[in-house]
Amino acid sequence: MCQSDTHAYALSRRSFLKTSTAAGFAGLAGGLSILNAGDAYAAGTSGYKALICLDLQGGLDGMDVLLPRDQPSFDQLAALRQGLFSAHNVGSGTSARDRENLIALDIANGSEFGSRQFGFAPEMAPLAQMFNDGDMAVIGNIGTLVEPTTRESMQNGLSTLPKRLFSHNSQQSIWLTRDLEGRKPGWGGEFLDALSGANRDFVGMATAGSPFLDKADIRRFDLPLGSFPRSRFEHSPYILRSGAQSDPLKRIMSEHMAAQGSRADNLFQRDLDAVHAKGEATTQAFIEAYGNLAPTSVAFPNHWVGEQFEAIANAISMRDALNVGNRQIFYTQRFGFDSHGAQIGYVERLEEIADAISAFREAMIAAGMWDSVCIFTTSDFGRTLSAGGSGTDHGWGSHAFVMGGSVAGGRIIGDVIPADKTHPQYTRSRPRLIPTTSVDQYAATLGRWFGMDDGALRTIFPNLGNFDTPDLGIF
Amino acid sequence: MAYTFLNQASFGATTEELEAAIGTSATDWVSAQMAIPHTEVLDEMVARYAARDTSGESLFAQMQASWWTGFLHGEDQLRQRAAFALSQIVVRSETTNEPMLRTIATYDLYQRHALGNYADFLEDVTYSVGMGDFLTYLHSAKENESTGRMPDENYAREIMQLFTIGLVELNMDGTPKLDGQGTAIENYSNEDVVGLARVFTGFKPHSSDNESTRYIESLYKPMRQIDSNYEFGEKTFLGYTIAENTPPRDNVRQAIDVLVAHDSFPPFISRQMIQRMTQSNPSPAYVERVATAFANGSFTAADGATFGDGRRGDMKALMAAIVLDAQFFDDLPPALDERKLREPILRMAHILRALEFSNDDPEMHRYVFSRFGRRDKLAMAPMRAPSVFNYYRPGHVALNSQTGAAGLTAPELQLITPASIRGYSDALVEFIYVGMGNNIDPERAFLPVFSRELELQNDPVALVDHLDSLLVNGALDPVTRQRIYDALTEMPVRDDDRYRDKDRLSRVMTSIWFVATSTDFAVTQ
């Protein structure tokens, strides 16, 4: 964080909790009473809670989601994004980026931003409503950081930087696992490992591949959209001819899919056998639980994001049947944000996300679960400030969005840096936002709500101590 | 040994091929393979596109069919393996609704250069409009101070990170070089990316003089570079400077030459090609032997046969070094970690090659193969990876696993989930039990025949012995073997003219299913 910063753009405070003293973090655990470390598990897991990671793959341009609404700020951004805004036909009156069409966000801490106003584009209408209802917070200028960093500290070599900035897979990995690929478990897995009970088969569920939830004996369950389809044998048993009605035959084939011998001489087969075994057991349990789901009247949109959120809503309804316990983390994603060109494609993608989350919220409210779930976005990085063409290149700082009944919403937590290349929170070349909120602070805040104790969080996020506030005050 | 060699160098061998191979020379086989000219499909696809003749199936389906026709029927098996491997390293994926001709043009490049030279391949790839579109440097232009526009960095980053040298400096054995603190050394900085991005400027689709063919030619012909968008200034990257006013084509060629000349290039590419061909976790010694051949552009087998023309990046030398490595010819069983976990396409192709199917009409392939890449089937299709990072990462070490605990890379484990295991079984069942294309044209359908196996179906031991040596090199687990016997007991042949033949066939199909879904089959033996 900029220390004695007398720049005209002095940054707003990141959290109303300001400088916590030794009195520290009491009262931050989302309403749960603080207990001794030894009781962290027992207390932390009273009442069900679920974190839902929505990973926006490719690098979400936060500056194209949280848009400036006051005329001077809007003009400032538009000047630097001529190619993109022209592709949007800004000025036509019907453009998704026309200033008049932006939906005003009613920001409870708006005074921190002076005369600046903000809005969401029309495609985000349901989420603008959610923000104004107090169920969403925006996390401003967040990204991977080792320690507070500015353009000056970078140029003087005073800050340690995250490894391999601007590289998709490396930054995705640092966001979700704190390190480059393959080095550490995902922090979702860390939380589950600390807080899950004995049955760990379904505590981490993912609708797409990611290492985010894997750690030790927590292995992500690949959540299907709908149920598992019937196997071809179940669909067409006649192909087994004289064996079609044979229960022993079914059993033998099922056992074969579940376990095939120890293969003492071959590690690859042993691992494959383990996936087979775990797979068969969990698949059957899931199919049965899914079959007993009560029908719902909530209509989820008919695209991949909608289907993923529907699957999550169903899975939450199935938690007792699957013996999940009180803590669960979901991972879901949408690709398509690596907008080197054709960034107007964001309109469609953001609309899908807004509609899907809106339906999800409706389902959770109907189930009385909206206060127990928290959706949070992640992304590789943000994007470059200037868009001379129809898109933007890889950036660094971006905005994240947190939604749920427990979120103290209607606020922008953190900084929104003005669209000004000379601002010291941009890199000199390109320019790219340098984050002022770290992923570690974000994850630790989510973890604390989830029931993690402070000591455990500092172990999982060793860089947390480099920042003023270990808790962003989201809840 | 014949089994191992043929299954590593091709998509799988029939019993006849395995028997015929015994006593012959593997180097002769490789030499003969390398003499077979390659096939390109673009002209035919362009003609079909122009004539609006897609015969009821999309160009996408036709392209998938081209791959599978090559896998299953190509005489040039080694080239097909190499092309498929290249398509997983220099990834160009059809993931959006964009003109399929661009994708098909890239397919031809894999075929053309799979046994050619890697630098030539990269040059053609760089000029392909498919790659320009996929990695977004089509239309990338030199810096414009007033709008703030800068050259697109996407291709510059990925050509280094994924297509040539990788993230960190490597020894010839594929292990990372370490600095004084024991940390890996980054190959490039962001400045290098910015400098290299200046090389890939000015690209535009081909623009024919002939107005009536201009659009279609723009979809598949190599890109041009226009002076007004091209960066004529100096470009500096990786300690090398391309002089100002270097013509565009020379500048691309120089950049590629710099990347290919880099010390990390041979081991970085070699290790991944080995992973696609023979071992998921190659030993450093093996990587070094292969990388050396790739760097020298030449490989000499133990019997004196030589491969490659001596130019760095020679693919013949690379492929020969991989499949003719001495370790595969010493009659010793592979060690604990010297295996390859085969991706679903390799496993399926093996079944389809090793066993007898009828009416294998390439025209029918369009109907057959385009559906099998879906998530609920093989979950993998050529040129349909979710991103330029392919279906799995070469450095993937599975958490909470035995391979992971031993520090082995097992990329293919990334793709294997309970859902994918079910999908693979279902895809197999479609071929083994049901056949494909019956409802389109029964006369030309792709149907299981399994005549050799039918002869043995009444003798479970003989049947399983046969499948064991054909498909898993004699390594079938005794537990699986017993399960097949038990299953066959539950599937008697009914003494009724209406049922007898199909009951027999179903016993064979079921036995095949057990072996094809066994972990013994999934891993090289």
pLDDT tens per residue across span A317-374: 999 999 999 999 999 999 999 998 899 999 999 999 999 999 999 999 999 999 999 9
Banded model confidence at residue B398, pLDDT cuts 50, 70, 90: confident
Looking at the partner chain, which of B190, B410, B418 has a beta carbon nearest the beta carbon of A271?
A: B410
Q: What is the DSSP string of A375-430?
A: EEEEES--B-S--SSSS--B-S-EEEEEESTTS--SEEEE----S-TTSTTB-SSS
At residue A12, the pLDDT reads: 29
Q: Is B194 on the interface with A (CB under 8 A)?
A: yes
**Chain A residues with CB inside 8 Å of B413's CB?**
268, 271-272, 275
Pairing of strands A118-120, A103-104: antiparallel
Do B1 and B327 contact (CB within 8 A), yes or no?
A: no
Ranges B190-204, B411-425, B440-454, most confident: B190-204
Banded model confidence at residue A464, pLDDT cuts 50, 70, 90: very high
Closest approach of A241 to chain B, Cα-based (Å)? 6
Q: Chain-wide mean pLDDT for chain A? A: 88
Mean pLDDT throughout B354-365? 80
**Chain B residues with CB inside 8 Å of A278's CB?**
418
pLDDT tens digit sequence for A179-194: 998 889 999 999 999 9
pLDDT tens digit sequence for A110-131: 999 999 999 999 999 999 999 9
Does residue B5 carry a pLDDT above 90? yes
**Chain A residues with CB inside 8 Å of B144's CB?**
388
Q: Where is pLDDT greater, at A463 or A428? A: A463
- Closest B-chain CA to A273: B519
Mean pLDDT throughout B193-201? 96
Q: Closest Cα to residue A131, out of A64, A73, A65?
A: A65
CB atoms within 10 A of CB A333: 20
Q: At residue B118, what is the residue type?
A: Y
Which of A247, A267, A337 best tests the B interface by mutation, with the highest count of B CBs <10 A?
Answer: A267
At residue B97, the pLDDT reads: 57
Contact B193 A389 (CB under 8 A): no
Contact B280 A231 (CB under 8 A): no
Q: Give the separation between CA B153 and CA A108, rounded to whole angstroms.
A: 39
Q: Give the separation between CA B342 and CA B473, rounded to whole angstroms.
A: 15
Q: At residue A355, what is the residue type?
A: D
At residue B53, the pLDDT reads: 64
Q: Give the separation between CA A447 and CA A471, rounded to whole angstroms.
A: 10
Closest approach of B303 to chain A, Cα-based (Å)? 31
Banded model confidence at residue B129, pLDDT cuts 50, 70, 90: very high
- Closest B-chain CA to A241: B503
Q: Is A151 on the interface with B (CB under 8 A)?
A: no
At residue A29, the pLDDT reads: 36
- Closest B-chain CA to A235: B426
Looking at the partner chain, which of A209, A243, A268 has a beta carbon nearest the beta carbon of B414?
A: A209
Residues of chain B by 3-state class (helix, strand, coil), percent to 5: 50, 5, 45
Q: Chain-wide mean pLDDT for chain B? A: 92
Mean pLDDT throughout B204-214? 94
At residue B172, the pLDDT reads: 98
Mean pLDDT throughout B9-14? 95
Mean pLDDT throughout B486-503? 96
**Chain B residues with CB inside 8 Å of A218's CB?**
400
Q: Where is pLDDT greater, at B435 or B328? A: B328
Q: How many CA atoms lie within 13 A of A292 on its CB side?
A: 11
**Chain A residues with CB inside 8 Å of B490's CB?**
243, 246, 248-249, 252
Banded model confidence at residue A386, pLDDT cuts 50, 70, 90: confident
Contact B503 A241 (CB under 8 A): yes
Mean pLDDT throughout B477-485? 96
CA separation (Å) from B454 to B351, B432, B484? 16, 13, 15
Mean pLDDT throughout A158-163? 94
Mean pLDDT throughout A78-84? 92
User: Residue A33 has what DSSP assignment?
Assistant: P
Banded model confidence at residue A7, pLDDT cuts 50, 70, 90: very low
Q: Where is pLDDT greater, at B436 or B415? A: B415
**Chain B residues with CB inside 8 Å of A282's CB?**
418
Buried b (16+ CB within 10 A) or exposed e, B119-156: bbbbbbbbbbbbbbbbbbbbbbbbbeeebbbbbbbbbb
Mean pLDDT throughout A278-283? 87
Looking at the partner chain, which of B194, B413, B429 has a beta carbon nearest the beta carbon of A271?
A: B413
Mean pLDDT throughout B511-517? 97
Whose structure tokens read 């400027």?
A: B201
Whose structure tokens read 């097909």?
A: B80
Helix (H) or strand (E) holding B351: helix B344-354
Do A432 and A411 contact (CB within 8 A), yes or no?
A: no
Whose structure tokens read 């949070």?
A: A376
Looking at the partner chain, which of A249, A283, A393 has a beta carbon nearest the beta carbon of B418?
A: A283
Q: Is B413 on the interface with A (CB under 8 A)?
A: yes
**Chain B residues with CB inside 8 Å of A227's CB?**
none
Interface list for A 306-335 with B (CB within 8 A): 335
At residue A32, the pLDDT reads: 34
Do B268 and B166 contact (CB within 8 A), yes or no?
A: yes
Mean pLDDT throughout A384-410? 93
At residue B269, the pLDDT reads: 98
Whose structure tokens read 């010297």?
A: B338
Q: Closest Cα to residue B433, out of B447, B452, B454?
A: B447
Query: Quick one: tokens of B505?
Result: 């066939």
Contact A185 B416 (CB under 8 A): no
Does residue B330 carry a pLDDT above 70? yes
**Chain B residues with CB inside 8 Å of A239's CB?**
429, 433-434, 506, 509
pLDDT tens digit sequence for A132-149: 999 999 999 999 999 999
pLDDT tens digit sequence for A365-380: 999 999 999 999 999 9
At residue A242, the pLDDT reads: 95
Q: Closest Cα to residue B525, out of A115, A134, A265?
A: A265
Q: Is B481 on the interface with A (CB under 8 A)?
A: no
pLDDT tens digit sequence for B268-305: 999 999 999 999 999 999 999 999 999 999 999 999 99
**Chain A residues with CB inside 8 Å of B340's CB?**
268
Mean pLDDT throughout A229-248? 92
Banded model confidence at residue A206, pLDDT cuts 50, 70, 90: very high
Which range among B94-108, B323-337, B445-459 shows the weakest confidence by mean pLDDT?
Answer: B94-108
**Chain A residues with CB inside 8 Å of B510's CB?**
240, 243
At residue B197, the pLDDT reads: 96
Handedness of CA B509, B513, B515, B516 (dihedral sign): positive
At residue A46, the pLDDT reads: 61
Closest approach of A47 to chain B, Cα-based (Å)? 29
Mean pLDDT throughout A164-177? 93
Q: Is B502 on the interface with A (CB under 8 A)?
A: yes
Looking at the partner chain, which of B154, B422, B520 has a beta carbon nearest the beta carbon of A231?
A: B422
Does residue A3 carry a pLDDT above 60? no
